[in-house]
């Protein structure tokens, strides 16, 4: 197959949702369609149940599962589909944000009863920042939920994106009869069925077709006609190019658990979603068609086997062809590496691959050479931009509880933060280590892993910081002065950038007032957001 065809046939995306909206269920149904799994129940949810927050073995088990299901590839309709899994638990939100840098589009699931939830908003913020094309799937239509128009309004208002329904539900919950596919002009009749993947489809070109009344009844027909008139009056026609620019999100309705609306979603996805896209780098934009191989690491996972300290680095290929046993340049280390056992992920199986193409995600065995955001290239050296760090929300100082094991502690915390489990800020004097996370659960994970994987014991002492702010300025003397004046609140991040640890919103505001030439950012990705 020609190289360009290899690119064109790939679709790399993530399914994102607030926990419990149906991400695991939808993923599983998609894999069933693709024949990647044969039975329902094969995909385990990688969410950490609320009751298990202090159950460390559970965390370990969950980590294992999420390695196995991190990337799920399958073939459907002549396309090679790569689904990147994202953790459901909000304490692992940063992992999700990073994964979103490796996809070309997303499917966002909304529970029809709950509408937009906290995590939905946060995830969508990241998609908006990156202009990622989004398709919305309103799930659980077999249950009583909210009015569809109200839901669409809420999506537009809270997620700050225009929407365009491409299918429309007939009834909801106990009165749910099916979905009218506006895009294909077909009526899909609902039959609750958790194991079969077929639905009854009737072609209805014209809403005045007498067949419609016969099938769904007079009242529902009148209602459907009226609602569709409203839909077509209120929403602009679907414009694929606006979707690809991330300006409008097409909306589908269905019930993942019942396999309903899933096939339509998948087929529309294949028709409109983008093929692998290029990425911005330190030397400009790199297109996937570029002959030289390039890719970046967006996730690192420690191997579960305690006897083998190696880790898996997940690399998204951006351009060129990756080949096994070929030397590539590791830009940050300026060193060449080759990979004898690169793996691909087909559902739960990992297998060694000889080559891979743009859009693919491969696993590279790593003995500690990779950090999140690292670039591998062939030809000219450059690095990819835009694996953001967000300001953590909880800060703790790391305290060594076993002075005999300080080396192990140092190594462990470095490696775990390289993996992106948490962010590390180092304060002088004394090399004090402040660990920042988005959730409490990560501290438990770090403590457990430091002890079990590195033999080090630690404690965490809470620090009352409000935000970590990265800083930029054109007025270097002012920044130097600020760093001197606030030295007790200044730390270094992993890349050697100064970070201001603001104790309260008020103190941050004061700093902004007193040092007007400094811009304070809540993410390390200055180019993308310009928050202050
Ligand atoms: P998540 O990965 O987004 O967290 O959600 P998940 O797929 O695990 O789904 C959360 C719950 O919602 C599950 O029920 C699942 O069965 C249910 N669900 C998913 N899709 C639908 C749907 O279309 N209709 C209805 N009625 N329910 C749906 P659970 O009781 O938490 O788990 P389980 O015991 O069913 O596994």
User: Which ligand 1 atom minimizes the distance to the CA of 21?
Assistant: 3
- What angle (nearest 5°) sits at the alpha carbon of residue 240, between those of residues 264 and 224? 50
Name the residue at shortest CA distance from atom 32 of ligand 1.
Answer: 20
Q: Which CATH class, in words, describes the domain spanning 394-521?
A: alpha beta
Greatest Cα pair distance, the chain, in angstroms, is: 83
CA of 18 to the centre of ligand 1 (A): 12
Main-chain dihedrals φ then ψ at residue 172, nearest 5 degrees:
-150, 155
Neighbours of 304 (CB within 10 A): 12
The residue with greater pLDDT, 337 or 41, is 337
For residues 264, 270, 271 and 272, what is the CA-based torsion angle, rounded to 10 degrees? 100
Mean pLDDT of the chain: 85
End-to-end CA distance of the chain: 49
Average the pLDDT over each of 138-152, 185-199, 210-224, 384-398 and give the range with the smallest value: 185-199
Torsion from C-alpha of 12, 319, 354, 361, nearest 10 degrees: -30
CATH topology identical between 279-377 and 394-521: no
What is the Cα–Cα distance from 91 to 93, expressed in whole angstroms?
Answer: 6
* Highest averaged pLDDT of the listed ranges 142-146, 206-210, 246-250, 443-447: 246-250
229 has pLDDT over 70: yes
Closest atom of ligand 1 to 47 CA is: 4
Q: For the chain, what percent of residues have pLDDT higher than 70? A: 86
3-state class (DSSP) for residue 168: strand
Candidate from 15, 16, 20, 85 with most ligand 1 atoms within 8 A of CB, to mutate: 20
Band (pLDDT 50/70/90 cuts) for residue 241 is: very high
Residue 58: pLDDT band (50, 70, 90) is: low
| Alpha helices for 249-391 (secondary structure H) | 262-272
Q: What pLDDT does residue 473 have?
A: 92
CB-based contact 439:394 (threshold 8 Å): yes
- Percent with pLDDT over 90 in the chain: 51
Ligand 1 pocket, CB under 6 A? 17, 19-25, 45, 47, 88, 139-140, 142-143, 255-258
Q: Which residue has the tokens 């027909």?
A: 221
- Among 105-114, 323-332, 347-356, whose mean pLDDT is lowest? 347-356
Between CA 157 and CA 308 the distance in angstroms is 49
Which pLDDT belongs to residue 218? Answer: 86
What per-residue confidence (pLDDT) applies to 531?
34
Give nearest CA residue, ligand 1 atom 16: 257
Tokens of 14: 């993530």
Q: For the chain, which residues make up each domain, given as ranges?
A: 4-272, 279-377, 394-521
Q: Which residues pair with 343 in a beta bridge?
A: 352, 363
> What is the average per-residue pLDDT within 444-460?
89
Q: What is the pLDDT of residues 268-321, one digit of tens each?
A: 999 999 999 999 999 999 999 999 999 999 988 775 565 666 688 999 999 999
Pairwise pLDDT comparison (330 vs 420), residue with the higher score: 330
Protein residue closest via CA to atom 6 of ligand 1: 22
Given a cut of 50, whether residue 375 has pLDDT beyond it is yes
Between these two residues, 21 and 175, which has the higher pLDDT value? 21
What pLDDT does residue 65 have? 47
Kindly state the tokens that stand for 483.
């760093």
CB count in 10 Å sphere of residue 493: 18
- Centre of ligand 1 to C-alpha 256, Å, is 8
Atom of ligand 1 nearest to the CA of 254: 23
Fold type of domain 279-377: Rossmann fold (3.40.50)
- Given a contact cutoff of 8 angstroms between Cβ atoms, the answer to whether 258 and 190 are in contact is yes
The answer for residues whose C-beta is within 8 angstroms of residue 389's C-beta and 6 or more apart is 94, 423, 493, 523, 524, 525
- Residue pair 510/485 in contact by the 8 Å Cβ criterion: no
The three-class DSSP label of residue 305 is coil
4-272: CATH number:
3.40.50.300
Q: Residue 44 has what pLDDT?
A: 52
């Amino acid at each position: 197959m020609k190289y360009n065809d290899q690119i064109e046939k790939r679709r790399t995306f993530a399914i994102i949702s607030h926990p419990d909206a149906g991400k695991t269920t939808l993923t599983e149904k998609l894999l069933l369609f693709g024949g990647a799994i044969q039975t329902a129940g094969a995909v385990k949810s990688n969410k950490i149940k609320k009751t298990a927050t202090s159950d460390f073995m559970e965390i370990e088990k969950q980590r294992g599962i999420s390695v196995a299901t991190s990337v799920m590839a399958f073939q459907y309709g002549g396309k090679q589909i790569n689904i990147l899994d994202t953790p459901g638990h909000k304490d692992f939100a940063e992992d999700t944000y990073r994964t979103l840098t490796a996809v070309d589009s997303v499917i966002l699931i909304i529970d029809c009863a709950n509408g937009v939830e906290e995590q939905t908003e946060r995830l969508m913020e990241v998609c908006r920042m990156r202009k990622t094309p989004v398709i919305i799937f309103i799930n659980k239509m077999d249950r009583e939920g909210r009015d569809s128009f109200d839901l669409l309004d809420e999506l537009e208002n809270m997620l700050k994106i225009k929407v365009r329904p491409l299918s429309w539900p007939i009834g909801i919950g106990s009165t749910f009869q099916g979905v009218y596919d506006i895009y294909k002009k077909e009526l899909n009749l609902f039959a609750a069925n958790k194991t079969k993947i077929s639905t009854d489809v009737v072609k209805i070109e014209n809403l005045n077709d007498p067949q419609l009344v016969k099938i769904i009844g007079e009242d529902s027909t009148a209602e459907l006609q009226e609602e569709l008139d409203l839909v077509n009056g209120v929403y602009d026609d679907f414009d694929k190019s606006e979707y690809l620019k991330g300006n409008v999100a097409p909306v589908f309705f269905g019930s993942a658990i019942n396999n309903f609306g899933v096939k339509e979603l998948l087929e529309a996805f294949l028709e409109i979603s983008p093929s692998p896209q290029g990425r911005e780098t330190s030397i400009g934009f790199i297109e996937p068609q570029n002959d030289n191989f390039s890719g970046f690491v967006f996730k690192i996972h420690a191997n579960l086997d305690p006897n083998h300290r190696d880790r898996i680095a997940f690399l998204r290929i951006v351009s060129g062809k990756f080949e096994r046993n070929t030397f590539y340049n590791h830009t940050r280390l300026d060193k060449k590496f080759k990979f004898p056992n690169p793996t691909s992920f087909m559902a739960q199986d990992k297998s060694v691959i000889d080559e891979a193409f743009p859009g693919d995600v491969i696993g590279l065995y790593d003995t500690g050479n990779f950090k999140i955001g690292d670039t591998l290239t062939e030809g000219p050296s450059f690095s990819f931009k835009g694996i953001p760090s967000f300001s953590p929300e909880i800060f703790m100082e790391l305290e060594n509880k076993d002075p005999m094991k300080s080396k192990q502690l140092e190594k462990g915390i470095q490696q775990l933060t390289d993996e992106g489990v948490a962010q590390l800020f180092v304060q002088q004097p004394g090399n004090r280590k402040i660990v920042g996370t988005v959730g409490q659960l990560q501290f438990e994970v770090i403590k457990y892993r430091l002890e079990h994987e590195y033999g080090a014991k630690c404690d965490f002492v809470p620090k009352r910081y409000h935000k970590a702010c990265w800083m930029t300025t054109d007025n270097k003397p002012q920044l130097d002065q600020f760093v001197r004046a606030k030295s007790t609140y200044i730390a270094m991040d992993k890349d050697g950038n100064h970070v201001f640890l603001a104790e309260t919103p008020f103190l941050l505001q004061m700093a902004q007032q007193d040092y007007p030439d400094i811009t304070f950012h809540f993410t390390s990705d200055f180019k993308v957001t310009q928050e202050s």
